[in-house]
Structure 1
Amino acid sequence: MSTATLEANAAQSVPLDKIDVSDPDLYLNNTFADYFKRLRKEDPVHYCADSAYGPFWSITKYNDIMSVDTNHQVFSSEAGLGGIVIDDNIQKGGDRGSIDLPSFIAMDPPRHDEQRKAVSPIVAPANLAKLEDTIRGRVARVLDSLPVGETFEWVDRVSIELTTQMLATLFDFPFEERRKLTRWSDVTTAEPGGGIIDSWEQRTQELMECAGYFQNLWNERVNAEPGNDLISMLAHSPATRNMTPEEYLGNVLLLIVGGNDTTRNSMSGGVYALHKNPDQFEKLKANPALIESMVPEIVRWQTPLSHMRRTAIADIEVGGKTIKKGDKVVMWYISGNRDGEAIEKPDDFIIDRARPRQHLSFGFGVHRCVGNRLAEMQLKILWEEILKRFSRIEVLQEPERVRSNFVNGYAHMPVRLHA
């Protein structure tokens, strides 16, 4: 019996009320898909009474997720209510050595809108146009440094390196110390036992180091002329210049994770998807203009952030179930992006889909990802430059995944390039 059949059988044999899609091992082992497939079919608005994160509702179908994501009047993102991830303790203090870090993604309007507006100029079309040459030059340099015909680590050499260079530019962060940003991003979303941190205390300690570093950058920028970087924008905007230190760190970490994890894992996920679907790579080489539709298809197929969480602030019915005030509600984007009622052949990677932007990976409503166009531009340039250089990127073994129910990512992916 194949591994895939065994996994499908395992997902079918668990009693429905005992299914817990928050288990990080499902993502580490890449065995989550069959559980979501069953929930979409049998119980699309599913209550899990007992998990490591307490009781929660799973919203697993595309249209139900859209209805929750766009209804911020009932489904709150406020940090004080638990924030935007399934684990309350990641967002707010508690018995696990965590710290309260509000950020605009973990706020409701109008505060959310004011703070988001402070940083949105960095991804305005005019600024993206200015960044394009910088990104292309860096992509070319990184790709030209890779050893053709030899085994190397794609995640570190390409995905992490390119996204970290971009982050350093957006923050005007000391370029030679840019890998600190990668580390802080990983620590922000880590749980003990996942291979990144050993304890909640260690996480708090490292995030305090991040806070100190960024406080120094704030102090420099707040007394200087406004610059075209994220810290200057936060320091000089009326909506954010009087933030508490915790709020500043919360927003910095939000921007680091948002700018790092999503793009980095889509850069790796695209390589993996084309390796698994060589017919699509041949199609791409025959018609490079398909990069335009392939990029959003990569973002859908990968779904770099598996979920976003809300807290109900009133009783409401979703999909025939009554969600009570105070309940934790988790929108599983990773499931909605595989909903066959909304997306044709959702499990297939198809680079010339008729409607490739019909996906949930960037969220919807007021919290739609502020940097989605920048992420797409980085992926587009990467693939334009790959096609100029390589006939194939061979993935040599199954990628090692991140143990996280939030970041759907890759820790290691050994590859070999063909000229």
Structure 2
Amino acid sequence: MDTTVAADHAKLAEELPLDQIDVSDPALYQQDVWRPYFRRLRRDAPVHYCAESPVGPFWSITKHKDIVDVEVNHRVFSSSSTLGGIVLRDRPADLELPMFIAMDPPKHEAQRKVVQPIVSPENLDNLKDLIRGRIRTTLDSLPIGETFDWVDRVSIELTAQMLATLFDFPFEDRRKLSFWSDASTALPYAGTIVESEEQREEIFRECLGYFMTLWNERVNAEPRPDLISMLAHGEATRTMSPREFLGNILLLIVGGNDTTRNSMSGGVLFLSQNPEEFAKLRARPELVDSMVPEIIRYQTPIAYMRRTALEDAEIGGKTIRKSEKVAMWYISGNRDEDAIEEPDRFLIDRPRPRQHLSFGFGIHRCVGKHLAEMQLKLLWEDILRRGWTIEVLGEPKRVFSSFIHGFTEMRVRISEPR
């Protein structure tokens, strides 16, 4: 990050009137200058109302405890797609995209339960050797001593392979899954992956058509341990509308893609920025167990989740009115000084590394959190086995989004031990 730009934003964050701070601005995350704005809000307005923004008026919940309070109060704070779902930017009513994370009980639990077996401890044990083998093959293919893009060659590739396995999706088409994930979360602007909602809907139709073919194959066969077969045979999901099927497919793609993919890139960046932590890891490889959740905290791949108030409610001394939007900023809660000691330091031996909000909390807690952690652990175990030093060259390119907190490119060079 340019130190002058960082200093300018640190100054601006302190000088702006509180009612002019808009932490939904995607540029803050693309430029990696979001920290001082949340530091100011946590101190001066932990429950903050933004009256005017491109996504409309909304409340920001920025403290760890308050975020947990909103998460667990799903009877008052709804995630239903009929009210706007989980992102601040409202979709047109005719383009509503139902998915189980954007549902309230009891339908949420019923649909979530259908896919839960894919991440059972038994299934994770069955997947471990496959994941380890793919990591080794992928890392074997990397050019030592040359500059390349870690995001594309490692992070996207490994998560696309994992998604193809979970869906039993044609392996040769696995990069379609990454594309559909990016297209579903991208902001529509000229010159980007999705230039308009109309173009996004065209991409969605392609995605739905592909998955409907697979659905029709699985629904007419014996149940199998893949996500499409689970949805096709699940009591709560087998009669879904095509739009709801699409919504759940996109949820599973994004959920299986973004958290792991951006944490795989973030970990490389953080260890490159903190060589003393990398030295600590080399000296004590068992610290990979606490480093993995610390990477996920420090990166916070999903910056926030939205809720909509079903009735008037009080949080942090502020009254949120019925129908108002509420953003639970995990990216701020994970840097809350009152909940996490030295939150702005990356510490691989942090005593309580899982005290983070990156997976959410309560009934909507990420269904695949253990799979994400396992993939990261196996990746770093293999990197340590090779004795590599991975140097990040220049500033990474980041996603233009206030929802997905991640990377589009990160140039690196690998050195082997001498």
The TM-score, its normalising length taken from structure 2, stands at 0.98
CA contact (8 A) 1:390 1:417 kept: no
Residue correspondence of structure 1 range 169-208 to structure 2 within 5 A: 169-193=165-189, 195-208=192-205
| Alignment-mate amino acid for residue 73 of structure 1 | R
The CA deviation at 1:195 is 2.4
Residue correspondence of structure 1 range 342-361 to structure 2 within 5 A: 342-361=339-358
Partner Cα distance (2:48, 2:378) in 1: 40
Task: Give structure 1 stretches of 5+ with no counterpart.
Answer: none
Residue correspondence of structure 1 range 129-168 to structure 2 within 5 A: 129-168=125-164
Partner Cα distance (2:375, 2:301) in 1: 15
User: Residue 342 of structure 2 aligns to a residue in which SS?
Assistant: coil
User: Residue 226 of structure 1 aligns to a residue in which SS?
Assistant: coil
The aligned counterpart of 1:316 is 313
| Alignment-mate amino acid for residue 401 of structure 2 | S
The CA deviation at 1:45 is 0.2
User: Residue 255 of structure 2 aligns to a residue in which SS?
Assistant: helix
The aligned counterpart of 1:102 is 98
Partner Cα distance (1:410, 1:126) in 2: 32
* 2:119 paired with 1:123: yes
Tell which deviates more after alignment, 338-347 or 193-202.
193-202
CA contact (8 A) 1:118 1:234 kept: yes
The CA deviation at 1:32 is 1.0
Residue correspondence of structure 1 range 298-317 to structure 2 within 5 A: 298-317=295-314
Residue correspondence of structure 1 range 10-409 to structure 2 within 5 A: 10-89=12-91, 92-93=92-93, 99-193=95-189, 195-409=192-406
| Alignment-mate amino acid for residue 185 of structure 1 | S
Partner Cα distance (2:133, 2:238) in 1: 34
Partner Cα distance (1:3, 1:222) in 2: 54
Tell which deviates more after alignment, 276-285 or 28-37.
28-37
User: Residue 355 of structure 2 aligns to a residue in which SS?
Assistant: coil
Partner Cα distance (1:3, 1:49) in 2: 26
User: Residue 385 of structure 2 aligns to a residue in which SS?
Assistant: helix
| Alignment-mate amino acid for residue 117 of structure 1 | K
Partner Cα distance (2:141, 2:124) in 1: 25
Partner Cα distance (1:85, 1:376) in 2: 25
The CA deviation at 1:11 is 1.2
What do you get for the CA RMSD once the two structures are aligned?
0.9
The CA deviation at 1:206 is 0.4
The CA deviation at 1:391 is 2.9
Partner Cα distance (1:234, 1:173) in 2: 14
The CA deviation at 1:398 is 0.8
Cα displacement string for residues 176-225 of structure 1 (whole angstroms, at most 9, x for unaligned residues) = 00000000000000112272212221111001100111011000000001
Task: Give structure 2 stretches of 5+ with no counterpart.
Answer: none
CA contact (8 A) 1:53 1:87 kept: yes
Tell which deviates more after alignment, 406-415 or 24-33.
24-33
Partner Cα distance (2:329, 2:393) in 1: 30
Tell which deviates more after alignment, 246-255 or 6-15.
6-15
| Alignment-mate amino acid for residue 140 of structure 1 | R
The CA deviation at 1:4 is 2.6
| Alignment-mate amino acid for residue 87 of structure 1 | R
Tell which deviates more after alignment, 273-282 or 197-206.
197-206
Partner Cα distance (2:366, 2:69) in 1: 17
The CA deviation at 1:7 is 1.7
User: Residue 152 of structure 1 aligns to a residue in which SS?
Assistant: strand
Partner Cα distance (1:34, 1:312) in 2: 28
The TM-score, its normalising length taken from structure 1, stands at 0.97
The CA deviation at 1:64 is 0.3
Partner Cα distance (1:131, 1:143) in 2: 18
The CA deviation at 1:88 is 1.4
The aligned counterpart of 2:6 is 4
User: Residue 215 of structure 1 aligns to a residue in which SS?
Assistant: helix
Partner Cα distance (1:238, 1:258) in 2: 22
- Identical residues among aligned pairs (%): 65
Partner Cα distance (1:3, 1:211) in 2: 42
